[in-house]
Amino acid sequence: MFPKIDKSETFSQREVAIGEFWKQHAVYEKTLAARADAPPFVFYEGPPTANGMPHPGHCLTRAIKDLFPRYRTMRGFRCERKAGWDTHGLPVEVEVCKELGIHSKEEIEAFGVEPFIQKCQQSVWRYIQQWQQLTERIGFWVDLPNAYVTYHQSYVESVWWSLKNLFDRGLLYQGHKIVWWWAQGGTALSAGEVGQGYREVSDPSVYVKFPLLNDDGNVTDTSLLVWTTTPWTLPSNQFAAVHPDIEYATVVDQENEGQLIVAKDLVEVLAAKLKRELKIVATCPGSEIVGKRYSPPFHTYYSEAKNTQGTLESGKKQYVAWKVVAANFVTTESGTGVVHQAPAFGEVDYEVLIAEQAKYDSGGGPTLINCVGPDGKFTDEGPDYCRGRWVKECDKDIIRDLKERGLLYLREQIVHDYPFCWRADEDPLIQYPRESWFIRTTQFKDQMLANNAKINWQPDHIQDGRFGKFLESNVDWALSRERYWGTPLPIWVCEKTGKMEAVGSYDELLAKPGATGQEVWAAAKQKNPELPDDLRIHKPYIDAVTYDSPFAAGAQMRRVPEVIDCWYDAGAMPFAQWGYTGQEAGTESEQFQSQFPADFISEALDQTRGWFYSQLAISTLLFGEDRGSRSEERNNQTRPSSLTPRSSFPHPFRNCIVLGLMLGEDGQKMSKSKRNYRAPDEIFDHYGADALRWYFFANQPPWTSIRYSEQAIKDSIPEFLLRLWNVYSFFTIYANIDSFDPSAEFASAGGSKKENGLDFSNADSFRPRAERSELDRWILSELHTTSAAVIERMDEYDNFAACQAILGFVDALSNWYVRRSRDRFWASDKRSPEKLDAYWTLYECLLTTTRLVAPFVPFLAEHLWQNLAVTIFGDRVPESVHLCDYPECDAAATDETLSAQMNLVREISSLGRNARTSVQLKVRQPLAKVEVVLADDTHQSWLESHATLIAEELNVKAVEFAADARQYIDYSIVPNFKRLGPKLGKNMPKLKKLLGEADGGQLLADLKSAGEVVLDVEGNPVTLDAEDIEVRLQAKEGWTAAEGKGVVVVLATELTKELVAEGLARDLVRVIQDVRKDKDCAFTDRIEVGVVTELAELKNSVEMFNDYLAKETLAEKFSFGPINNVEAINVQIGEAQVELFVQVIS
């Protein structure tokens, strides 16, 4: 017996039970054990942070991350799934600061770095329970107990190893980075923080003259006209930038001495501001001004260095600063088209400096100048009236100074957005250079691009689009952070010589000669034994460890203060998750090598510049190109010998699904305060994890950004889950009634077990496909076709199309196969071969579908598997559906022709019902005849042999196929554009017109008899065969008909007495069945029926169709009149009111 379905149980409750079952039986572990020797399918878990609550967007990533590993496991791969947690970084510090009610670095220092770090470590696990619960509840199978954690010592050391590798290869260097700097607080702000603080303010907008120099270095009477809104940056000016392709004009201003150079397009704008004419005396492209020297507005540095020259690669000498440079970022949207460059105070400006420096031989180029201190006040290098003053306060005095010296050309105020500190909103931020560590990623740009080119991105436009473009504009990775909670940068500096070296592990550090300072950790641990040992490799403990300098006798090596960008942590996970440290042998090495690169990763779009990039960059820098490729030799010089590339491109991942972002119900970003989404737990309780998963997988391709829609999640229940459930329910109800027990059918064979799934061929009542009915063969064909389609799509990481295929099959199974097979399930002979065929067929369909949907809706699938297979076959089948192999397509079972034919029947049925609707003829009312008109007669003879089927579906007495149906139908002929288009070209519209005007019926008849027709298109004979045209049918007015693409169905609507009587009988069956249901009759209960009616036709009908009525309603006896002690039930049959008496007699 199949277990009876408990209708009071919700999907959600069943899922929780299934989750328990998996846990108790260690099913996930068993799926791995079962594939111990299988080829690996490698999945990387992009580590989430557990210091925030998970929301529905996280459900999406976790669902997709689960789908493909489950699928691949069933397909015969071993898919280890190590969980991971991202634990470092500013967000954690911010959380802790909030908790402590502090903000600035000073406050953190005052609180104490040591307790602060300890709090950070605790904070990262704040919502770990919620995350673990979510992970389990959504059915994301991943190895949580052995998760990698980015603050763990083994992880940090693995990161250290990689950084040491880069350092030793000269790829890790110190430079300047222009950051948004909060001068009053002494700290840099992250992009997100800066974004929060933008505010509209009024700032000075000044136009300043930079007089050009002639070849002798003397000032001329022509000046560049430069615009700036930050006068305080002018003392640190180093260049003036122009766009090489923009046209520049030399203009004369009547009221001013000398000539000015401005972008030609801006002359008029400027003149309008001045309210006077500017006369253009010459024009030239920007490229002609490039290289000219000028006199900057302040001469502090200039007077020292104006004649400094550097040596170019070509050997030529050139002045290094205070000259015009070319830059593509210059526009003519505002200003003058000549842009003041102060590299110390602008990221773009700084890039110009770097680009200039790169042109010169070793260090001979311009150096950064900066007359402002980190406190935002001018240093002694600034103008004397500014020294020691906050830069913004000096604007006025600087402007006055310029005016006095005749360099100020125009001054106005401008209102624009400017960032302020988000926690001290009176403090404007300034861009400021800070010492920073960089990874020389730019050197590997081509390799990264080559690597990217081989990755299979879904959607593919990421490759050359967002990600590719990002790689194209690669800049060196600014690695260091002046913060506390992060992987410490493993570089120790000699206090005397400033020489540095990288350290690869804690042991290596302690083994250094004279290593000391580890007792700081020991003391902390003694004081608080609860401290996790992993903290010893963090600030402040690690900073205490020093050792003897190998560079200078008596000097100590001290660690640099910085920690690193936590994106580096995440990007290092392919090796750091195993604690890999470059060793050729050992467990870590084996684990790493067998799990690199990944076959599949998936995260949301916001990871493009995050995890996707950090992984690719680190991997490309460390593991380079394909072994044995030509460029391998080139890189050998820099790569330490211990590092051999172990994989061909692409690495570190081969396939990547980039998920769209999930928005809240209102289309806005999900936000706790707006409450525009529901907590995942509630979704699971209301609708279940399968409903949520199916909604993600089947509603849209995964990369579309989706709006969270409660209704859509809810809808996936009736649209799919319930439909499948109903088929299952139908099957078990009747299988139990008929005592169809598949395992008992093996009585003579002594049981059967096939390693992969079930083999029924030995079952006594099991007949080979060929002996079964066409309907059975059809649904099995659909089943196998579906398997093939699902596998094909899933191998392409296309879950959306795979779901469509599954959905189509379940619809066919439920709405055609089961419906068309009801008679067989209801037949009284329990052992008739036809009935048993129906059971075997439906059973196979259900078992296969169960396995097919297992990766998508693992809970429902497991439930079905347990009740359909395990309760029946016990340990002769896998104990979980997830231990099964994925169903494959048996080509012998597919039958394309049959599929097309059945589709045609389904279409004809649908059209027939359509036609009935149009004249309000209920399907219950039999009709005499249906005429089917086909545009294409390929399947006509088959349909003729299936007339009974159509007759049953449409409740008609006869089905006819009209050969020439010109009485009902207008034929119109349309050319097959795809076929004829290339041949006919411009003549297409003419042919279309010709065919449209022709007598379609005649043309078709001619074509049928001759095989082809010749038409004259503007004097050119065109020969058309059957495939060159498309026949369209249209029912003529006055007929009850419906038309499809290539078929028209015409109904005969005249009703004879017999037909009416039969209709009434069917109506009577319907109402009696309703009564039976009301009375809670068992399916087998016999009844007696009394009918009281004035309607003669009904009496007549009962007499005519007595046998039919008795059979359908299990009525032993029909009488006209009331039954004693039975209450009358009033019903309507046709137009008449009828009193019905129904008594159960057994």
Partner RNA sequence: GGGCGCGUAGCUCAGUUGGUUAGAGCGCAGCCCUGAUAAGGCUGAGGUCCCAAGUUCGAGUCUUGGCGCGCCCA
- Rule CB under 7 A: which of 818-877 touch RNA? 818-819, 822, 826
Out of 141, 227, 567, 578, which one is annotated catalytic?
A: 567
Selected from 269, 923, 994, 1005, the binder of RNA by CB under 7 A is 923
Quote the least distance from Cβ 619 to RNA, whole Å. Answer: 21
Q: How far is CA 654 from CA 41, 100, 612, in A?
A: 11, 44, 12
Q: Does 631 bind RNA (CB under 7 A)?
A: no
**Residue 445 in contact with RNA, rule: CB under 7 A:** no
Residues in the interface with RNA (CB under 7 A) total 85
The C-alpha angle with vertex 1082 and arms to 1076 and 1085, in degrees rounded to 5, equals: 80
* CB of residue 1115 to RNA, shortest distance in Å: 9
Q: How far is the CB of 488 from RNA (least distance, A)?
A: 24
Within 1005-1034, which residues bind RNA (CB under 7 A)?
1032
Per the annotation, the verdict on 701 as an active-site residue is: no
1120 binds RNA (CB under 7 A): no
The single residue among 252, 305, 722, 893 that binds RNA, judged by CB under 7 A, is 722
For the segment 447-466, give every residue that binds RNA (CB under 7 A): 461-462, 465-466
DSSP 8-state assignment for residue 389: S
DSSP state of 597: S
Two structure tokens written together for 1133: 């049959």
Give the three-class secondary structure for 521: helix
Complete edge-to-edge strand list for the sheet that includes strand 556-559: 500-502, 491-494, 556-559, 547-548
Concatenated DSSP letters for 791-849?
Answer: HHHHHTT-HHHHHHHHHHHHHHIIIIIHHHHHHHHH-S-TT-HHHHHHHHHHHHHHHHH
805 binds RNA (CB under 7 A): no
Contact criterion met (CB below 8 Å) for 613 and 470: yes
Task: Indicate whether 331 belongs to the interface with RNA (CB under 7 A).
Answer: yes
Question: Residue 1035 contacts by C-beta under 8 Å, 6 or more apart in sequence?
Answer: 968, 969, 970, 1041, 1042, 1043, 1048, 1050
Residue 608 in the binding site for RNA (CB under 7 A): yes
Total residues found in the chain within this entry: 1146
Q: How far is the CB of 704 from RNA (least distance, A)?
A: 4
Rounded distance, CA 781 to CA 898, Å? Answer: 8
Is residue 445 within 8 A of residue 473, CB to CB? The reply is no
Handedness of CA 221, 226, 227, 230 (dihedral sign): negative
Answer for which of 922, 993, 1057, 1079 binds RNA (CB under 7 A) is: 922
Q: How far apart are CA 455 and CA 571, in angstroms?
A: 16
Verify whether residue 738 is a known catalytic residue. Answer: no
CB of 204 to RNA, least distance (A): 21
Cα radius of gyration (the chain): 41
Residue that is written with structure tokens 């080139």 in the block: 634
Give the nearest distance from C-beta 1034 to RNA in angstroms. 7
Instruction: Specify the DSSP class assigned to residue 1047.
Output: E
Q: Residues 774, 811, 970, 1139: which binds RNA (CB under 7 A)?
A: 811
Tell me which stretch binds RNA (CB under 7 A): 153-161, 446-454, 625-633, 730-738. 730-738
The total of other beta-carbon atoms located within 10 Å of residue 405's CB is: 11
Q: Which one, 259 or 699, has the nearer CB to RNA?
A: 699
| Binding status of residue 10 toward RNA by CB under 7 A | yes
Residue 1058 CA to residue 1061 CA, distance in Å, equals: 5
- As a dihedral over the C-alpha atoms of residue 607, residue 612, residue 614, residue 620, rounded to 10 degrees, the angle is -170
Q: How many CA atoms lie within 13 Å of 5's alpha carbon, on the beta-carbon side?
A: 18
CB atoms within 10 A of CB 137: 23
Catalytic residue among 47, 48, 742, 878: 47
**Within 10 A of 1021 (CB to CB), how many other CB atoms are there?**
8
* 519 contact partners, CB below 8 Å, separation of at least 6: none
Per-residue contact string for residues 1080-1099; x = within reach of RNA by CB under 7 A: ---xx---------------
By CB under 7 A, is residue 711 in contact with RNA? Answer: yes
Binding residues among 63-102 for RNA as defined by CB under 7 A:
none
Q: Annotate each residue in 183-222 with x if it binds RNA (CB under 7 A) or - if it does not, as one string.
A: --------x-------------------------------
Q: What is the DSSP string of 929-964?
A: EEEEEESS-TTHHHHHHTHHHHHHHHTEEEEEE-SS
- Measured CA distances, 66 to 24, 500, 693 (Å): 20, 45, 10
CB of 702 to RNA, least distance (A): 9
**How far, CA to CA in Å, does 382 sit from each of 115, 373, 621?**
41, 10, 42
Which CB atom, from 715 or from 1088, has the smaller least distance to RNA?
Answer: 715
Please choose, out of 18-26, 713-721, 957-965, 1017-1025, the segment that lies near RNA by the rule CB under 7 A.
Answer: 713-721
Q: How is residue 474 written in tokens?
A: 């690669």
Q: Which stretch binds RNA (CB under 7 A): 388-396, 813-821, 841-849, 1008-1016?
A: 813-821
Q: Give 929 or 1032: the residue with its C-beta nearer to RNA.
A: 1032
1045 contacts RNA (rule: CB under 7 A)? yes
- Does the protein bind RNA through residue 1077 (CB under 7 A)? yes
Any residues with CB less than 8 A from the CB of 77 and at least 6 apart, and which? 35, 38, 39, 40, 41
User: Footprint of RNA on residues 341-400 (CB under 7 A)?
Assistant: 347-348
567 is catalytic: yes
Residue 11 is a binding residue for RNA (CB under 7 A): yes
Shortest Å distance, C-beta 989 to RNA: 5
Interface region with RNA, contact rule CB under 7 A, candidates 3-11, 51-59, 961-969, 1099-1107: 3-11
Should residue 914 be labelled a site residue for RNA when binding is judged by CB under 7 A?
Answer: yes
- Judge residue 159's burial from the number of C-beta atoms within 10 Å of its C-beta, 0-12 exposed, 13-18 middle, 19 or more buried: buried
Other CB atoms within 10 Å distance of the CB of residue 273? 12
Taking CB under 7 A as the rule, does residue 814 contact RNA?
yes
Q: Using CB under 7 A, which of 196, 635, 709, 940 touches RNA? A: 709
Could you say which DSSP state residue 721 is in?
I
1073 among known catalytic residues: no
Among 23, 454, 669, 831, binds RNA (CB under 7 A): 669
For residue 40, the cross-strand partners are 78
Binding to RNA by CB under 7 A, coded x per residue (else -) over 957-996, reads -----------------x--xx--xx--xx-xx--x----
- Report the residue from 392, 707, 929, 1117 that binds RNA according to the rule CB under 7 A: 707
Please name the helix (run of DSSP H) or strand (run of DSSP E) that holds residue 125, with its range, or none. none
**704, 871, 1020, 1137: which one binds RNA (CB under 7 A):** 704
Catalytic residue among 118, 431, 607, 901: 607
Least separation in angstroms between CB 205 and RNA: 17
- Would you say 1057 or 1079 has its CB closer to RNA? 1079
Site for RNA in 531-560 (CB under 7 A): none
DSSP H stretches of helix in 408-465: 445-453, 461-464
d(CA 866, CA 854): 12
Give the nearest distance from C-beta 952 to RNA in angstroms.
12
Which of 22, 437, 611, 816 is catalytic? The answer is 611
* Closest separation in Å from C-beta 982 to RNA: 5
Residue with smaller CB distance to RNA, 103 or 1076: 1076
Is 835 a catalytic site residue?
no
Instruction: DSSP letter for 718, please.
Output: I
Active site residue 86: yes
Handedness of CA 359, 361, 366, 368 (dihedral sign): positive
- Applying CB under 7 A, the span of 59-67, 443-451, 710-718, 873-881 interacting with RNA comes to 710-718
Stretch that binds RNA, among 575-583, 601-609, 745-753, 1135-1143 (CB under 7 A): 601-609
Question: Is 778 noted as a catalytic residue in this protein?
Answer: no
Shortest distance, position 810 Cβ to RNA, whole Å? 9
Q: Where in the sequence numbering do the catalytic residues fall?
A: 47, 86, 567, 607, 611, 669, 672
